[in-house]
Amino acid sequence: MLSREDNELLTRTGPGTPMGNLMRRYWIPALFSNQLAEPDGAPVRVKLLGEKLVAFRDTEGRVGLLDERCPHRTASLFFGRNEECGLRCVYHGWKFDVEGNCVDLPSEPWDKDFKRKIKITAYPCIERGGLVWAYMGPPELKPDFPDLEWTLVPDANRYVTRHVQECNWLQALEGGFDTSHLTFLHRGDEGNADGVRMSLPNRYEVLPMDFGFAAGTCREQGEKNFWTCSIMLMPFHKLISTSPIGAHVWVPVDDENTMNYCIEYWPDKPLSRDDLADSEEAFFIHPQMIPGTDRPIANRDNEYLIDRTLQKSGTSYTGIKGIGRQDCSVQESMGPISDRTIEHLGMSDSVIIKMRRLLLKTVQDVAEGATPPGLNAAAYRVRSSRFTVPATVSFEDAVDEFVRVKDPVPAQ
Same domain? For 390 and 252 the reply is yes
Residue at a domain's end among 141, 169, 199: 141
In degrees, rounded to 5, the angle at the alpha carbon of residue 26 between the alpha carbons of residues 33 and 124 is 50
Q: What pLDDT does 411 receive?
A: 61
| Percent of the chain scoring above 90 in pLDDT | 81
Angle at 141 between CA 135 and CA 145, to 5 degrees: 50
End-to-end Cα spacing for the chain: 45
In this prediction, residue 190 carries a pLDDT of: 40
Which residues does residue 216 pair with via DSSP β-bridges, in sequence order?
205, 229
In a domain, 409, yes or no: no
Q: Tell me what pLDDT residue 198 has.
A: 43
Residues 136 and 156 in one domain: no
In this prediction, residues 374-398 reach a mean pLDDT of: 95
265, 157 Cβ separation under 8 angstroms:
yes
Segment 396-401 mean pLDDT: 96
Q: In terms of DSSP bridges, do strands 203-209 and 158-165 run parallel, antiparallel, or are they unpaired?
A: unpaired
* Mean pLDDT calculated for residue range 66-77: 97
Q: Is the pLDDT of residue 410 over 60?
A: yes
* CATH code of the domain in which 103 resides: 2.102.10.10
* Strands in 99-188 per DSSP E: 102-104, 125-128, 131-135, 158-165
H helical segments located in 128-210? 149-152, 169-177, 193-198
- Consecutive H or E run containing 400: helix 395-403
Instruction: Please tell me whether residues 371 and 398 are part of one structural domain.
Output: yes
Helix (H) or strand (E) holding 48: strand 44-48
* Same domain (yes/no): 213, 318: yes
**In 3-state terms, what secondary structure has residue 402?**
helix
Cα 253 from Cα 251, distance rounded (Å): 6
Last residue of a domain, one of 109, 141, 173: 141
Instruction: Specify the pLDDT at position 110.
Output: 67
Give a yes or no: residue 14 inside a domain: no
Verify that 184 and 316 share a domain, yes or no.
yes
120 within some domain: yes
Residues 115 and 161 in one domain: no
- The mean pLDDT value for 102-122 works out to 84
Q: What is the pLDDT of residue 196?
A: 39
Alpha-carbon gap, residue 236 to 363, rounded angstroms: 13
Q: What is the pLDDT of residues 18-33, one digit of tens each?
A: 999 999 999 999 999 9
- Are 219 and 368 within one domain? yes
Nearest to 49 by CA among 8, 76, 29, 20: 20
Question: Strands across the sheet with 51-57, in order?
Answer: 44-48, 51-57, 63-67
Please, is 234 exposed, middle or buried when counting C-beta atoms within 10 Å of its C-beta (0-12, 13-18, 19+)? buried
pLDDT tens-digit readout, 313-348: 878 889 998 889 999 999 999 999 999 999 999 988
**pLDDT confidence of residue 243:** 87
Mean pLDDT, rounded, of the chain: 92
**Domains contained in the chain, number:** 2
Give me the helices (H) in 219-339, please: 277-280, 308-313, 323-333
Instruction: Note whether 205 and 118 are same-domain residues.
Output: no
Output 181 or 283, whichever has higher pLDDT.
181
Position 177 scores a pLDDT of 92
For residue 392, being part of any structural domain is answered with yes
C-beta neighbour count of 142 within 10 angstroms: 14
Contact yes or no for 366/358 (Cβ under 8 A): no
At 282-306, the pLDDT tens digits run: 678 899 999 999 999 999 999 999 9
Q: Is residue 19 part of a domain?
A: no
Angstrom distance (rounded) from CA 5 to CA 26: 24
- What is the per-residue pLDDT for 412? 59
What pLDDT does 143 receive? 97
Tens of pLDDT, residues 361-372: 999 999 999 999
pLDDT of 209 strictly over 60: yes
Residues 158 and 119 in one domain: no
Statement to judge: residues 231 and 176 lie in one domain:
yes
Please tell me whether residues 281 and 373 are part of one structural domain.
yes
Domain membership flag for residue 328: yes
Residue 339 resides in a domain: yes
- Position 191 scores a pLDDT of 36
The predicted pLDDT at position 114 comes to 79
Q: Are residues 341 and 360 in the same domain?
A: yes
Q: What range does the domain containing 191 cover?
A: 149-403
Provide the 10 A C-beta neighbour count for residue 342: 7
pLDDT in the model for residue 261: 98
Closest listed residue to residue 176, CA positions, set 245, 225, 246: 246
Condensed to tens digits (0 to 9), the pLDDT of residues 131-178 reads 999 999 999 999 999 999 999 999 999 999 999 999 999 999 999 999
Among 125-129, 212-216, 316-320, 327-331, the range scoring the smallest mean pLDDT is 316-320
Distance of CA 412 to the CA centre of its chain: 22
For 229-251, the pLDDT digits (tens) are 999 999 999 999 888 999 999 99
End residue of a domain, out of 96, 124, 141: 141
Instruction: Decide if 207 contacts 358 (C-beta within 8 A).
Output: no
Rg (CA), the chain: 23
Residue among 400, 331, 348 nearest 217 (CA): 348
Asked if the structure places residue 61 within a domain, the reply is: yes
| Domain CATH for 323 | 3.90.380.10
3-state secondary structure of 319: coil
